[in-house]
Structure 1
Amino acid sequence: MDLGALDLGTRKFWRAVGRRVDLAGEHAWLRAPMSDGAQVRDGWLEAEAAAYGGVVREGVPGAGLLRSVSELDGPGFNAADLRPEIRDFYEHTTDWRMEVWVAWSPLFWPAGELVSRMFGQRLEQLALPMRPLDVARGMDSRIAVITDADDVQQAAGWLRTIRATGDYAFSGCYSTRRLPGADRAGVHVAFPLESGNVQVFLRPDHGDDGSLWLRSPGERFGGNGAYVIAQDRGRTYASRAPIHETFHVYVDDEGVLRTDHTLRLWSASAVRLHYKLERHR
């Protein structure tokens, strides 16, 4: 099979179902890193830093996905109400170690396996683990801080690899971003792909127990949720994707930080992941 033709055909599909967008103007809220080649890994970092007029800083002690969780503050959300362990994880992610468990719905497992083999493992991007043993030894993660010209963090690359093999599973760009007309910022995650990306806008809320909820509901275009961006013949197209995610980050009865992650296609649960997070520094 000509896999290059497969990738091109995929972009053509998203062009057909999407709408043309202007990332330098009206739709600047959708501007996010893309990959120059089929294999993603960490090749997009330098270009993203250049877009901010800054640099990529690797190995920064205590680096986090977000400069400060308080950037999410607004009507209905106050970062000070979160458990301190949760804030510490997002602001000092490199100080935490992760273990992962995965459970696929039998209905979606065959499609997930096909996508993993044809895209995820080959591109080294969005390679969701398919079996519990795939991540039995856990995941390693690396934070690359992306700064602007004033050396202020604007985003962070979170590069996660399977500990047993060293293969990339996820290579994402994390930041805070306010959607058009929104009353407060949310968490923005972009996964670069060749001539495009997958983006997720997550709305934060906190529970009475100090836990954090991040949700990407099925809102209209311009609202929270998942988007696929594709470039074709010098034009850029964007489409809503029927992917809805929920993250619940909490501290259990034994004081352990954990995350329950559910990914749904339309209204059906496709895969559930559970993360155990332990501070190692």
Structure 2
Amino acid sequence: MTWNKWLPFSIILFLVAVIFGQGPLYLLMLTVAQVVYVPLTLQMIKKKNDWFTRFYTYFSIPAYVSVVLLHITEPSSWDAFLAAIYLLFTLIVAFYGMNRFLTRGFIRFEEFSIDIALVFLSIGGMWYFTHITNIDTGFSPIITWLTAVHFHYAAFLLPVFNGLLGRIYKPKLYSFAACILIISLILLAIGITFSVWIEWISVVFYMIGIYMMIFYTCRAPFTRRLQKMFIVLSFGSLGVTILFSFLYAFGRLTNFISIGIPFMLQTHGFLNCVVFALFGLIGWLISVPTENTTTWTFPISEIRGSIIIGEKVLSKIQCDSKPHKGLVDDMNIYEPHINTSTLSPMIRDFYENTMDYRLFAEVQWKGWFKPFAYLYRLISSVVQQINLPLSKKRIEMTGDVLKIKEELDSRKSPRAWVRKIHEKVTFIAIYSWHKTNDRTYMNIALPLPWSSMIGILEVNQMGHVLHLSSKKSEANSDAGIYLVWNNRILALPIEETFYVKEREDGTLYAKHQMWIFSVPFLKIKYAIYHRDFKNGEQ
């Protein structure tokens, strides 16, 4: 087992709480989580020599000692101060979770599950502070305390255990199962506050996610048999306790089955506290899976915007640029993944002589996304970037291609494609390319306020059709959609594809599709005509 220097300290604190504790024994369920499970779990997550590790002792020891003091002393005027120390500790942990996320983005869901667990712990700290200070939340004291317990076990330990599992075994539906569990936690909080129906539905989703994770722990390739036994037993206990939660929620919904809080404390609480948490923690301490790190080395544009992107960025780049004919000088740079001798000559000509063509677009927002599109439109119309119309009506996009100096952008052969609708800037995309190993990627930057969105697209040929995609075709691919902010590169949960083909009438047809969290939200159809084509407006 990986030795943990905090283990003796945690055990001593817990024994003090057991021997000198005030109040019912069940209160120890939260105390053991705070002074044993939380510190040992954080030891598995921390990285050597980062700021959290360097200063951890200074803000963690006062927090753990405060929890024990609150448990072994009678209520006093110092309680709020001691509870605030623990709350501050959980807020620092949450900040660490956000900092972890901002160094990576959504690229690895197993690490995002750990990030969100660190953030959720602060919510547990808030409910603990509320319980200690007797703030009136509209709930009984026991429900307030149970909510703090919930956010220390289900919202902290479980997502961390899920993340550790994902480090060693990540099947196709792993992210789906982990996402269900995270969403269920949020739905459960909403349901308890507003609706018994939502509470019951959240428990149903929770059951689906838990049983999927139980199946994955049985399939995971653990290197040590003892570790697998402990972890399977830990996750397996959730398969039992979630049944009690289901019956409890169903009873609140129908009044048909009556399961009270005392019964839940004796069964659900005991199994979660001992079997799930203790056995699970021992199991992961036997061998802590290492984090799968990702380092991006592809070039990024140095051009950033302010609040107004359109005209201001345009005026900036026009000072150091000149008109150019196409987005790419030579499509041969994308070989061998395309073959310019078999690719449609018109597609090649469009990219090399873009200004010889007219572009007509039909923007189609998905129905579920339209409310967000309306809100986004209020912002984009001011920012003048990615300012797409809400209507499906076919509309012409005009504009220019500008050749930008490499020292201004820092990438190879940058070309700014400025598109307008009714002479108003719709968006500015700066095209370039880079090569990693044996593949050349299309590298597109869209300046945003003090940041930039980067689209790294794989360029492939399917027959005579050109296919551009941010979806990775292999594990080490650069492809993806990223946000560059303050020298950080964040992978976004957005994907896009382009299909460009030549039609029989001598025109081009292109389809641009986008997904967020793998759910489609936007499709744009383009009709592209050479300026010599007489029926171009039809």
**Which residue identity does 1:41 align to in structure 2?**
G
* One of 120, 124, 140 as aligned partner of 2:384: 124
SS at match of 2:385: coil
Contact kept in structure 1, 2:358 and 2:531, CA below 8 Å: yes
Match of 1:23 in 2: none
* One of 173, 178, 186 as aligned partner of 2:430: 173
* One of 466, 480, 483 as aligned partner of 1:212: 466
Inter-CA distance 238–83: structure 2 relative to 1 (3 Å threshold) = same
Inter-CA distance 147–94: structure 2 relative to 1 (3 Å threshold) = same
Match of 2:11 in 1: none
Contact kept in structure 2, 1:46 and 1:56, CA below 8 Å: no
After superposition, what is the alpha-carbon deviation per residue over 1:70-111, rounded to whole angstroms, capped at 9, x for unaligned?
11113x432332100000000000110011112111011111
Match of 2:330 in 1: 68
Give the Å deviation of 1:155: 1.3
Inter-CA distance 47–17: structure 2 relative to 1 (3 Å threshold) = farther
User: Where in structure 2 are there 5+ consecutive unaligned residues?
Assistant: 1-97, 105-294, 533-538
- Report whether the alignment pairs 1:103 with 2:364: yes
In 1, the alpha carbon distance for the partners of 2:312 and 2:529 equals: 29
* One of 115, 120, 124 as aligned partner of 2:376: 115
Query: What is the aligned-residue RMSD (CA, Å)?
Result: 2.8
SS at match of 2:362: strand
Inter-CA distance 225–205: structure 2 relative to 1 (3 Å threshold) = same
In 1, the alpha carbon distance for the partners of 2:495 and 2:351 equals: 21
Give the Å deviation of 1:47: 6.8
Inter-CA distance 36–183: structure 2 relative to 1 (3 Å threshold) = same
In 2, the alpha carbon distance for the partners of 1:15 and 1:274 equals: 39
Match of 2:88 in 1: none
Inter-CA distance 249–17: structure 2 relative to 1 (3 Å threshold) = same
Give the Å deviation of 1:56: 0.8
Contact kept in structure 1, 2:300 and 2:454, CA below 8 Å: no
Match of 2:205 in 1: none
Inter-CA distance 49–18: structure 2 relative to 1 (3 Å threshold) = farther
Alignment of structure 1 residues 1-281 onto 2, 5 Å: 17-19=101-103, 29-41=298-310, 43-44=312-313, 55-58=320-323, 60=324, 63-74=325-336, 76-118=337-379, 120-133=380-393, 136-148=394-406, 154-163=413-422, 166-179=423-436, 182-208=437-463, 210-217=464-471, 223-231=478-486, 236-281=487-532
**Which residue identity does 1:128 align to in structure 2?**
L
After superposition, what is the alpha-carbon deviation per residue over 1:188-224, rounded to whole angstroms, capped at 9, x for unaligned?
110011221001011011112x110001115768620
After superposition, what is the alpha-carbon deviation per residue over 1:109-161, rounded to whole angstroms, capped at 9, x for unaligned?
1112211212x11110011222123xx44111211012458xxx811000001
Identity between Structure 1 and Structure 2 (%): 23
**Which residue identity does 1:33 align to in structure 2?**
E
SS at match of 1:132: coil
User: Where in structure 1 are there 5+ consecutive unaligned residues?
Assistant: 1-13, 21-25
In 1, the alpha carbon distance for the partners of 2:297 and 2:338 equals: 25
- Relative to its length, the structure with more helix (as a share) is 2
SS at match of 2:368: coil
In 1, the alpha carbon distance for the partners of 2:476 and 2:387 equals: 26
- Relative to its length, the structure with more strand (as a share) is 1
In 1, the alpha carbon distance for the partners of 2:382 and 2:475 equals: 32
**Which residue identity does 1:246 align to in structure 2?**
T
- With CA pairs under 8 Å and 6+ residues apart, which has the higher RCO, 1 or 2? 1
Q: With structure 2 as the length reference, what TM-score do the two structures score?
A: 0.42
In 2, the alpha carbon distance for the partners of 1:108 and 1:266 equals: 13
In 2, the alpha carbon distance for the partners of 1:203 and 1:42 equals: 30
Q: With structure 1 as the length reference, what TM-score do the two structures score?
A: 0.77
How many residues are aligned here?
242
Contact kept in structure 2, 1:77 and 1:205, CA below 8 Å: yes
In 1, the alpha carbon distance for the partners of 2:515 and 2:459 equals: 18
In 2, the alpha carbon distance for the partners of 1:250 and 1:155 equals: 25
In 2, the alpha carbon distance for the partners of 1:48 and 1:27 equals: 26
